[in-house]
Amino acid sequence: MAACVKCNLCEEPGTLADPAEVGAVPCNVREFSKEVFTLWRCIGCGSLHCAEDADLNRYYAHYPLKRQKLNFNDRVGYRNRWRMIQAQGLAPSSHILDYGCGAGLFVDFLHQQGVENAKGYDPYVPKYADPLALHRQYDAIVSYDVIEHSEEPREFFRSLVRLVKPGGLLVIGTPNAQNVSLRRKGSPSLHVPFHRHILSKRALLALGKEAACEPARVYERSFYDSIYPTVNSRFMWRYIEKAGGMLDAAVEPPRPGLVLSSPELLFFAFFGYFVPLRENMIVIFRTADSRVLIVPAPVTD
């Protein structure tokens, strides 16, 4: 991997020599917490880039979310995910691939919902690393919190489009660089060096246009956001910040005392849905189809 000193997302790329913003950001995984990386914002498209190269195999070997287990909060979030794509015409009989599925929790959830044709692929998880999953096309590809980990987001996006049947869905969930501040060091979006390129909404929609994909729906909040107490991204990430700022806290035993002693956490536990972070976006693209197809008009929540 090479250092990133020039934006690889826009037509008139900015550079590290002339950024719109730049900052030094420590890694938020405990094993690498003493390592600091440079994030800079492209003056052209507003996307964020990690300047230093990184051996991601080394970092993923200690990735805390590999220990994640399906819990109540995940079920609520995954139900939201499933409803989003059902609203675009997906059915339990549809063939769905979760690209970058991690521990496969969403795949397991879909199977529990009767979606028998759901599969997962993740090159860093042996159970889901079989490349045969990439040798066919699907009614829908879902990829959450993955494109920002790619060294070449444009090629990554195109590779996913090739896996979608004509007129099918490509769902990308990722941080929105337009709403991510380098001054907020505790932001989960500043997840260096894992996050190589954090796309702005403008940049992501441009990738879709290049690949002849229409945005059927745009959500500007996390799929975890719900009215259930503690099940919202505002509470979740503020809890992690107060627990020390390491992502590891997401898979460690909960600390109810920390919540009960913090008026702020108690407020977000019950009302966080109504004050979303806006750091995340989900764009549901529909791929080009040779048949006549009515595509829902883009809607921004």
Q: What tens digit of pLDDT does each residue of 236-248 get?
A: 999 999 999 999 9
pLDDT of residue 255: 96
Q: How far apart are CA 270 and CA 250, in angstroms?
A: 19
pLDDT at 297 over 70: no
Percentage with pLDDT > 90 across the chain = 86
Least trusted range by pLDDT, from 40-49, 63-72, 78-87, 265-274 = 63-72
Domains and CATH numbers, the chain: 63-286 (3.40.50.150)
Token pair, residue 3, equals 């250092």
Range 53-74 average pLDDT: 90
pLDDT of residue 294: 35
Q: What tens digit of pLDDT does each residue of 192-241 get?
A: 999 999 999 999 999 999 999 999 999 999 999 999 999 999 999 999 99
Among residues 77, 118, 123, 115, the alpha carbon closest in space to that of 97 is found at 118
User: Which has more pLDDT, 289 or 42?
Assistant: 42
Range 278-296 average pLDDT: 73
Beta strands in the chain (DSSP E): 21-26, 36-41, 48-50, 96-99, 118-121, 138-144, 164-175, 197-198, 214-219, 280-286
pLDDT of residue 89: 95
pLDDT of residue 301: 42
Q: What tens digit of pLDDT does each residue of 155-188 get?
A: 999 999 999 999 999 999 999 999 999 988 778 8
How far from 200 is each of 110, 163, 174, 254, CA to CA, in Å? 29, 24, 9, 33
What is this structure's pTM? 0.92
pLDDT of residue 2: 60
pLDDT of residue 293: 38
pLDDT of residue 243: 95
Q: How far apart are CA 293 and CA 253, in angstroms?
A: 48
Q: In a 10 Å sphere around its CB, with 0-12 CB exposed, 13-18 middle and 19+ buried, how is residue 90 labelled?
A: buried
Among residues 45, 39, 35, the alpha carbon closest in space to that of 187 is found at 39
CB 219 within 8 A of CB 85: no
pLDDT of residue 25: 95
Average pLDDT, the chain: 92
